[in-house]
Copies of this chain bind each other. A is one copy, B any other.
Amino acid sequence: MKELEERIRKEGTVKPGNVLKVDAFLNHQCDVALFDQMGQAWAEHFAGKQIDKILTIEASGIGIACCAARHFNNVPVVFAKKAQSINLDGDQYSTSIYSFTKQREFPVIVAKKFLNPGERVLIIDDFLANGKALRGLLDICQHAEVEVVGIGIAIEKGFQGGGDDLRAEGYDVDSLAIVESMDPESGTIVFR
């Protein structure tokens, strides 16, 4: 998506350690007009597919998913919550996600009542790198016996391989900007 690539080029910052900072418009300050365009782009890509629910993960996915939902007949948005600990009371699906940024595993939960067997789910998130967070959401979807219709991602770091692995497994991953390479010294970003 041209608008997103332009914003990344203009306002994104490449930091050492494969970090792309886009907090000016995506995940600290949010440009909701851009989010709306992103939702429209996903709606075009997934047109004709029945989607009952959007699933995302806190915190950065929530704004994007809520703006996107307008373009999917206002379906409910469910966000997975980062929990203090895995609660085994039986009311929640839980999984564990390794965070590269935080260098540790953290538990993530979704209340069972918000994912019903057979529902058709679109997963939306801001970033896809190695795919650890998405694997956690897919794990929850599998336990919930919902069907993952597709995965909408704002920025994929293509060189980290998580997206291509998911595509090879048959998932319909629609990333609006795929960074093929980036250089912290020159600040250069090359898109796929």
Could you list which residues of chain A lie within 8 angstroms of chain B, going by C-beta atoms? 23-24, 28-33, 35-36, 58-59, 62-63, 65-67, 69-70, 74, 76-79, 81, 84, 102, 110-111, 113-114
Q: A31-B74, A63-B63 are in contact. List 19 more A-B contacts (CB 8 A).
A: A23-B111, A23-B114, A28-B78, A28-B81, A28-B110, A29-B77, A29-B114, A30-B62, A30-B76, A31-B76, A32-B77, A35-B66, A36-B70, A58-B62, A59-B81, A63-B65, A63-B79, A66-B66, A67-B67
User: Chain B residue with minimal CB distance to A104?
Assistant: B84
Contact B28 A69 (CB under 8 A): no
The docked-state distance in angstroms from the alpha carbon of A79 to that of B67 is: 15
Contact B59 A79 (CB under 8 A): yes
Contact A33 B66 (CB under 8 A): no
Chain B hits for A30, CB < 8 A: 62, 66, 69, 76-79
With A23-B111, A84-B102, A111-B23: A28-B59 Cβ-Cβ less than 8 Å:
no
Chain B hits for A65, CB < 8 A: 63
Chain B hits for A59, CB < 8 A: 58-59, 62, 79, 81
User: Chain B residue with minimal CB distance to A57?
Assistant: B59
Contact B32 A66 (CB under 8 A): yes
The docked-state distance in angstroms from the alpha carbon of A152 to that of B151 is: 33
The docked-state distance in angstroms from the alpha carbon of A58 to that of B31 is: 16
The docked-state distance in angstroms from the alpha carbon of A76 to that of B69 is: 19
